[in-house]
Structure 1
Amino acid sequence: MNQTEEKSLYERLGAIDGITRLVDDIVENHMSNPAVNKRFLPLKDNPEHFAEVRQHLINFLAAGSGGPEEYTGKDMLSSHRGMNISQGEYMHVIDDIMKALNKNNIDDQTQKDVLAVAYSLKGDIAGV
Structure 2
Amino acid sequence: MNQQASLYERLGGKKKIAEITEDVWTNHVSNPDVASRYANSDAERVKSMVTDFVCWGTGGPESYAGKSMLEAHRTMNISHREFMAVVDDVMRALDKNGVTDREKNDLLGLLFSLKEQVVHL
Report the TM-score range of the alignment, normalised by the length of the smaller protein: over 0.9
Q: Distance in 2 between matches of 1:4 and 1:36?
A: 37
The secondary structure found in structure 1 opposite 2:78 is coil
Structure 1 pair 4–121 and aligned structure 2 pair: CA distance change class (3 A): farther
Matched length: 121
Displacement after TM superposition at 1:55 (Å): 1.0
Counterpart amino acid of residue 96 in structure 1: D
Structure 1: 5+ residue stretches without partners: 44-48
Correspondent of 1:81 among 64, 71, 74: 74
Instruction: Check the 8 A contact 1:23/1:54 in 2, yes or no.
Output: yes
Displacement after TM superposition at 1:5 (Å): 2.3
Q: Distance in 2 between matches of 1:4 and 1:25?
A: 27
Displacement after TM superposition at 1:79 (Å): 0.1
Out of 4-13 and 58-67, give the one that drifted further: 4-13
Displacement after TM superposition at 1:42 (Å): 2.0
Correspondent of 1:106 among 94, 99, 103: 99
Counterpart amino acid of residue 38 in structure 1: S
Counterpart amino acid of residue 29 in structure 1: N
Correspondent of 1:53 among 37, 40, 46: 46
The secondary structure found in structure 1 opposite 2:49 is helix
Instruction: Check the 8 A contact 1:9/1:66 in 2, yes or no.
Output: yes
Correspondent of 1:27 among 20, 25, 28: 25
- Give structure 1 regions of 4+ aligned residues with deviation exceeding 6 angstroms: none
Out of 113-122 and 33-42, give the one that drifted further: 33-42
Confirm whether residue 116 of structure 1 aligns to residue 114 of structure 2: no
Match of 1:97 in 2: 90
Q: Distance in 2 between matches of 1:110 and 1:53?
A: 23
Identity of aligned residues (%): 41
Match of 1:72 in 2: 65
TM-score, normalized by length of structure 2?
0.96
Q: Distance in 1 between matches of 2:29 and 2:43?
A: 12
Structure 2: 5+ residue stretches without partners: none
Displacement after TM superposition at 1:50 (Å): 2.6
The secondary structure found in structure 2 opposite 1:24 is helix
Q: Distance in 2 between matches of 1:59 and 1:29?
A: 19
TM-score, normalized by length of structure 1?
0.91
